[in-house]
Structure 1
Amino acid sequence: MFLQSLFAAYFRGNLVRQILIGLVLGIAFGLFLPQAAQNSAIIGTFFTGALKAVAPVLVFVLIVSAIAQHQSGTKVHIKPILFLYILGTFAAALVAVLASFAFPTTLTLTESQVTQNAPAGIAQVLRTLFLNLIDNPVNAILSANYIGILSWAILLGLGLRHANDGTKSVLSDAAQAVTNVVRWVIRLAPFGIFSLVAATIATTGLGELRAYGQLVLVLVGSMLVVALVLNPLIVFLKIRRNPYPLVIRCLVESGVTAFFTRSSAANVPVNLLLCKKLGLHEDTYSVSIPLGATINMAGAAITISVLTLAAVHTLNIPVDLPTALLLSILATIGACGASGVPGGSLLLIPMACSLFGISNDVAAQVITVGFIISVVQDSCETALNSSTDVLFTAAADLAASEQQADSRKAVV
């Protein structure tokens, strides 16, 4: 009876507050009991793995159900969201380029090996994106290929538009069942974050970051400028009112979880739940959120730009304004092809470095530097990427709703 009451009290509690408590306890545990903290990493691995496992199924079922039951005349607002995604990513790349010139950073490059296969160029990135559209649907779900999941879910949803009410009811029930599973997984977040933080503090500490302090500051500073200045400005221009309540809520309820899971894909269920709490249209966010986890990559554009220009400064390569602008465009397109998993953006650095004639051997060393600072870089990057998915979806949805309300008033 006592345990039942304890569980009930936990599930009724404020999730954000519980996550913050887990964060503080995780830091203390990692500092004072490092050995035990490393052994506790299995809890964080379980939490992150559960999110990654349920996210593809959730996205597929939600999109099929939403499109199949879509009523004619119901508005969805994907086009303005896509515009905000691309605009935000490109503007973030520009911020990173400006910051890199304002605070030029150099690296200590040494011999190193990187085993991952990095894209050879922008053509390969675009080719991969195109091929992902026609991936086998089962394989797309198994490999969390959200472009493939989106394409198949949209096609199946359209094919089921004229299905009978019984079929649509089954789809709706399936979507609700998977959503309930997601809620249960998300309630594990305080324990997962406690474990992830404790293991990270115990294993890495902050020693390795001191050697690259300025690089970390340029990266994180650029991301903060985008999150707290640039994104609010874009949202204000869209909704014409104070954007900060929405910005802060997205950062707290989406960004905090994404910071520790370090995966946009794993944070998709969290974002879908937040969109529902914000009262957004399910037909819209069930598509825009998984799409954002794939192509809305402001943080990735910053990482690609800053680390590439750090290599440029190290090698004393002159950069003119047109080339810097071209880098921003290249980083934007490349970021859209970045994987929604930890470290995905780092593997696109050789592509950007090739713009300046930097060899793959040197670019591989830059990637290694990225992995050294990834405990901060990748966490901040993912928090920015994922929270912006909800932010721009909400901004477009709110703007469209206000336009519809104004139109009704004008008619009256």
Structure 2
Amino acid sequence: MKVSVIGAGLAGCEAAWQLANRGILVELFEMKPQKYTPAHHYKGFAELICSNSLKAARFDSAAGLLKAEMERMGSLVMESARRFAVPAGGALAVDRTLFSDYITQKITSHPNIRVVQEEVTELPEGTVIVAAGPLMSEGLAQAVQRLVEEEHLSFFDAAAPIVAADSIDMAVAFEASRYSNGEGDDYINCPMNKEEYERFYEALISAESAPLKEIDQRDFKVYEGCMPVEVMAKRGADTLRYGPLKPVGLTDPRTGRRPWAVVQLRKENAGSTMYNLVGFQTNLKWGEQKRVFSMIPGLKEAEFLRYGVMHRNTFINSPKLLNAAFQLKKQPEIFFAGQITGVEGYTESAASGMLAGVNAGRRLEGKEPVILPRESMLGALSHYISDETVVNFQPMGANMGVLPALEERIRDKKLRYRTLSERGYRALEAALMKYGEYEDRKGM
């Protein structure tokens, strides 16, 4: 028995890991380092390109519930994330280099996985999992286009700049988490008064963006969850102050008062030598980024280790094409996983790869596919991407809104989320028991 997995990103690595641990041989195709997409730069697998944060860690949150479900199912991504976490308040952020290196080593050393470093332009015969990501090569994109006989949908994703920690002016900036949550030094905060914010805002909305290719201009659609900061700013002068620059929960030690606006910087690595600008995904020209972002108090002399970039993401019309097992309805030997299916986010992509891997393995073993209950977060997402009633399909990340409502109405939000998470995790446990999966693993 053998499965071909295309792409060694988060979804592809999880799919390969699940299959290999079932005793199934895997050929994992990855075109790096022979060829890179415009957004990828590191040679390792499971490269994080937009942010180093895997979102909220607490169990009573949508992202936290999904993480708990993934850990219950033996997630390699979560194993690496826990091992190489960096302080980030209530979020789970990682040292992206160590995170990638660990997953790469685990995958390449597994006896049931053979890595093939070449670009795929035609789908292999037999059971296949397409997990090449939304930035797949043109050759593979054309092969997928022929396979699904469907116009691809597209949106644009953007990454934030990274600055050197020792270039931040700490006489102006200060270390703190909102409402003193966390260790106190999880974030570096760059406070702005009203005048500083207004100057920055005017410079930002008038700055020059990088040109898009002709096809990109024709299909330009921005995904709300990773919107370029300059696009968000043009929605109104106070949009940023109620969004990524909101000052609530922070006090400027220089004034003893809450700032007018705050730019937060989050650790990029365990050594605390690099910080990314939270919420500053951007498509501005690099020179404009240097000019405008250096206006942020504390970043006047900042050394930019990486400028923000914007790239095209592509996803298929999953409700028409896939079932809740991440399997093509018309060609059940072919599975899709990751953001190309319309799940949005690092953990969501990885989790979809896990489920696709499990179900590809079960198909070869002559077993029925695992269809997770809607009460679990992964089940809710898998049902969302396969819901035939969805007409205007758009990417969806983990959120409490995709879960079925509780029978009893709970007004307290924290208690409601905790109850939803507990219900979801119990539902996952029951489903895994029903299908006979992970019986050797203990629950929470």
**TM-score for both structures, normalised by structure 1:** 0.23
Structure possessing the higher relative contact order (Cα contacts under 8 Å, 6 or more residues apart): 1
> Which structure shows the higher helix fraction?
1
Structure ranking higher in strand proportion: 2
Q: Normalization by structure 2: what TM-score?
A: 0.22
